[in-house]
Amino acid sequence: MDFLRPASWEEALAAKAEHPTAVPIAGGTDIMVEINFDHRRPQYLLDLNRIGLLSEWHVGEETVQLGASVPYARIMENLRTELPGLALASHTVASPQIRNRGGVGGNLGTASPAGDAHPALLAAGCQVEAESVRGSRLIPIDDFYTGVKRNALEPDELIKSIHFKKADGPQQYSKVGTRNAMVIAVCAFGIALHPETRTVRTGIGSAAPTPIRAKAAEDFLNAALEEGGFWDNGKIITPSIAKQFAELVSGAANPIDDVRGTASYRRHAVGIMARRTLGWTWESYRGNGRSTEGVA
Ligand SMILES: Cc1cc2nc3c(=O)[nH]c(=O)nc-3n(C[C@H](O)[C@H](O)[C@H](O)COP(=O)(O)OP(=O)(O)OC[C@H]3O[C@@H](n4cnc5c(N)ncnc54)[C@H](O)[C@@H]3O)c2cc1C
């Protein structure tokens, strides 16, 4: 196995163009497990650890650009306000050691349906910046996951960064696991309120072949919130709206039975998480200076 160690982003892109089968290694917390268990024996490993820009983030007026290799620990420490859903999801990843090494670029590279970043990324509605020697492109997160552990990257592309709009409303993340740490999700759910566009976005993890949004549930909730004037009057969301939202989220899931849980449990659990996280985010939205009159 050849170990390629580019010293710059340009060198990394050139190496990937020359060796499209080269496997990038960032934190190594996914790829080294595969190599150690002999599940994979790439001819070339492309080490990205000398490329400083991948570990940087930039907070602009309205946007955040997150380098692909920024570890979860840095996201939790530094981007809690701008990317609250992703910061909460980062908290649930593995252990402090893994959170110090692993990052969102690696989660996207692996594209496991159980990756914890994905529901938060889908709910936030970000774009993945992929680059090759041919140029750069922004892939909407909705188009990124193409199959089980497959993504939209071309063989010569690397993930440079992830582009977000700063959160303009509350976001939440919830995960079911067999214990509180060092656990791959049985299933997970992310939600983001976007008051500026008066929309709600969702993300479901570990309950379908790829991370997915619950689009019918979003459409239903967006219409119900608009119709009831909820964004303006800040009323409590009625139990019937919350229940229907949860049922539609459950219906969007397409899980399998496996060692971590049954399909029916997962379908049930994502509904429960959807109802709870909707309640938490909406309470937070109402508490931010909106009218709290009129309990429906
Ligand atoms: C003990 C343990 C517990 C874990 N628990 C969790 C958990 O709770 N939740 C969770 O989501 N994950 C968990 N993981 C998996 C892993 O930590 C995450 O998926 C992490 O985000 C991977 O990031 P990394 O930088 O280490 O990726 P790496 O292992 O370096 O790479 C992962 C994949 O992404 C590709 N890649 C990396 N960077 C780029 C790039 N810039 N461009 C293109 N491709 C790239 C690699 O080629 C590889 O295919 C766990 C892993 C271990 C070992």
Q: How far apart are CA 242 and CA 221, in angstroms?
A: 8
pLDDT in tens, the chain (296 residues): 999 999 999 999 999 999 999 999 999 999 999 999 999 999 999 999 999 999 999 999 999 999 999 999 999 999 999 999 999 999 999 999 999 999 999 999 999 999 999 999 999 999 999 999 999 999 999 999 999 999 999 999 999 999 999 999 999 999 999 888 888 999 999 999 999 999 999 999 999 999 999 999 999 999 999 999 999 999 999 999 999 999 999 999 999 999 999 999 999 999 999 999 999 999 999 997 554 332 23
191 C-alpha to ligand 1 centroid (Å): 23
164 C-alpha to ligand 1 centroid (Å): 20
* Contact between residue 85 and residue 190 where contact means Cβ atoms under 8 Å apart: yes
What pLDDT was estimated at residue 288?
76
147 C-alpha to ligand 1 centroid (Å): 17
**Nearest ligand 1 atom to alpha carbon 72:** 21
The pTM of the whole model exceeds 0.95: yes
What pLDDT was estimated at residue 181?
85
DSSP single-letter state for residue 131: E
**Nearest ligand 1 atom to alpha carbon 118:** 11
Is the distance from the beta carbon of residue 14 to the nearest atom of ligand 1 less than 6 Å? no
What pLDDT was estimated at residue 289?
57
DSSP string across 14-80: HHHHH-TTPEEESS-TTHHHHHHTTS---SEEEE-TT-GGGG-EEE-SSEEEEETT-BHHHHHHH-T
Residue 269 is encoded by which pair of tokens?
Answer: 């659990």
What pLDDT was estimated at residue 295?
29
What pLDDT was estimated at residue 111?
98
27 C-alpha to ligand 1 centroid (Å): 7
Q: How far apart are CA 230 and CA 291, in angstroms?
A: 10
What is the residue with the minimal CA distance to atom 5 of ligand 1? 94
What pLDDT was estimated at residue 180?
84
CB atoms within 10 A of CB 287: 11
Is the distance from the beta carbon of residue 23 to the nearest atom of ligand 1 less than 6 Å? yes
Is the distance from the beta carbon of residue 85 to the nearest atom of ligand 1 less than 6 Å? no
Is the distance from the beta carbon of residue 107 to the nearest atom of ligand 1 less than 6 Å? yes
